[in-house]
Structure 1
Amino acid sequence: MGAAVTRAIRNVNLENRAEREISKMKPSPAPRHPTTKSHLRDQMSSHPDIKKEVDRKDDRLLSLLKDVYVDSKDPVSSVQVEDAGTLQAPKEFRLPKGHHFDINIENIPKGKISTVEALTLLNNHKLYPDTWTAEKIAEEYHLGQKDVNSLLKYFVTFEVQVFPPGDKKAIQSK
């Protein structure tokens, strides 16, 4: 949404702004240094034919330039060539594990898991680490061993701990 608004604001009155920019006076050449002016003046006075040669138009070169026709095409990128040449292998999918079919997930690509499955396997590993080892999780959910080890190492499920009150005067919950 933000890109559309930005594009709309950027393109407001675009043609008028472009026309105004094109119709501006072209910048004049930068002023020459005074020492350069004197050297140029000396050269022009000693060789007056140079000025004529600089200002003269060469008809032969102009006719050759009119005969030039440029037809350019963008080069084909290597990515497009590879995409066109290779057919994509069909992806392998699996059905979601567990009893959470009320979510609109029909199938999950192999090597990936849903959020509910991630929470389930993390909880299972926390409660039964001997049964739900990293190898079993990788096999059950069609994941890579390295990914499962990282998942078990860096992610934990939410855990609520209730500490008993320290002093006896604390209000007891009913």
Structure 2
Amino acid sequence: MGAAVTRLIRNFNLENRAEREISKIKPSRAPRHPSTKNRLREQMSRHPEIEGEISRKDDRLLSFLKDVYVDSKDPAPSVQVKDAETPQEPKEFRLPKGQQFDTMNMNIPRGKISIEEALTLLNNHKLYPEKWTAEKISEEYHLELKDVNSLLKYFVTFEVKIFPPEDKKAIQSK
């Protein structure tokens, strides 16, 4: 919705605005400094042929300009492009662990995990840290050990704690 409104505002009265911009008086050159004007008048009075030289086009220079030809080429790509004929190597996939979250039939590439698996392994490590070590998780989910260590260090699962109100007794769970 926002893009449509923006587009309407941007394109509103576009032709009239463009016509108004085109019909504006073109900018003139910057004015010269007063001290420069005096020196220019002085030089023009001494050498009147300079005025003709300034306004005259030099045919020799124009012919040089016509001879200039610019040809640009892209630099060679640093990454070599693989031949289209060679088939791409099939990636190794694995089935997701658990399936308790009713995931559809999906294959996960090795070295990656799904969100459900990440939550499961983080929760397992939190509940049983001696059993679910970084090495075991790395082996179980086919991940690199440094990635698992970073995952365990920087990500934690949510922990819900309910504190009883101060003025009421807490209901004891059985």
TM-score in terms of structure 1 length: 0.74
Q: 108-117 vs 132-141, which deviates more?
A: 108-117
Give the deviation of 1:131 after TM superposition: 1.9
The reply on whether 1:170 has 2:166 as its aligned counterpart is: no
Cα deviations by residue, 1:6-28 (Å, 9 ceiling, x for unpaired): 56654555565445434422211
SS in 2 for 1:104: coil
Alpha-carbon separation, structure 2, partners of 1:154 and 1:74: 48
User: Residue 111 of structure 2 contacts residue 143 of structure 2 at CA under 8 Å; is this kept in 1?
Assistant: yes
For structure 2, the residue ranges without an aligned partner over 5 or more in a row are none
Number of corresponding residues: 170
The reply on whether 1:111 has 2:111 as its aligned counterpart is: yes
Q: 20-29 vs 60-69, which deviates more?
A: 60-69
User: Residue 164 of structure 2 contacts residue 170 of structure 2 at CA under 8 Å; is this kept in 1?
Assistant: no
Q: 130-139 vs 152-161, which deviates more?
A: 152-161
Q: 88-97 vs 42-51, which deviates more?
A: 88-97
After TM superposition, the structure 1 = structure 2 runs for residues 1-174 of structure 1, keeping only pairs within 5 Å, are: 6=6, 9-10=9-10, 17-66=17-66, 68=68, 70=70, 72-73=71-72, 75-76=74-75, 78=77, 82=79, 84-85=81-82, 89-100=89-100, 102-104=102-104, 106-162=106-162, 170=169, 172=171
Alpha-carbon separation, structure 2, partners of 1:100 and 1:86: 43
SS in 2 for 1:84: coil
The amino acid of 1:26's aligned partner reads K
User: Residue 101 of structure 2 contacts residue 116 of structure 2 at CA under 8 Å; is this kept in 1?
Assistant: no
Alpha-carbon separation, structure 2, partners of 1:7 and 1:76: 38
Cα deviations by residue, 1:53-111 (Å, 9 ceiling, x for unpaired): 111122343344445555x5562573xx6262478654332211112463235111222
Alpha-carbon separation, structure 2, partners of 1:19 and 1:56: 35
Alpha-carbon separation, structure 2, partners of 1:29 and 1:143: 67
Alpha-carbon separation, structure 2, partners of 1:172 and 1:101: 31
Alpha-carbon separation, structure 1, partners of 2:69 and 2:9: 39
Alpha-carbon separation, structure 1, partners of 2:67 and 2:8: 43
Alpha-carbon separation, structure 2, partners of 1:108 and 1:51: 79
4+ runs of 1 displaced by more than 6 Å?
Answer: 164-167
Among all aligned residue pairs of Structure 1 and Structure 2, give the percentage whose two residues are the same amino acid. 69
The amino acid of 2:74's aligned partner reads P
Give the deviation of 1:147 after TM superposition: 1.4
TM-score in terms of structure 2 length: 0.74
C-alpha RMSD of matched pairs (Å): 3.5
The amino acid of 2:152's aligned partner reads L
Alpha-carbon separation, structure 1, partners of 2:4 and 2:74: 30
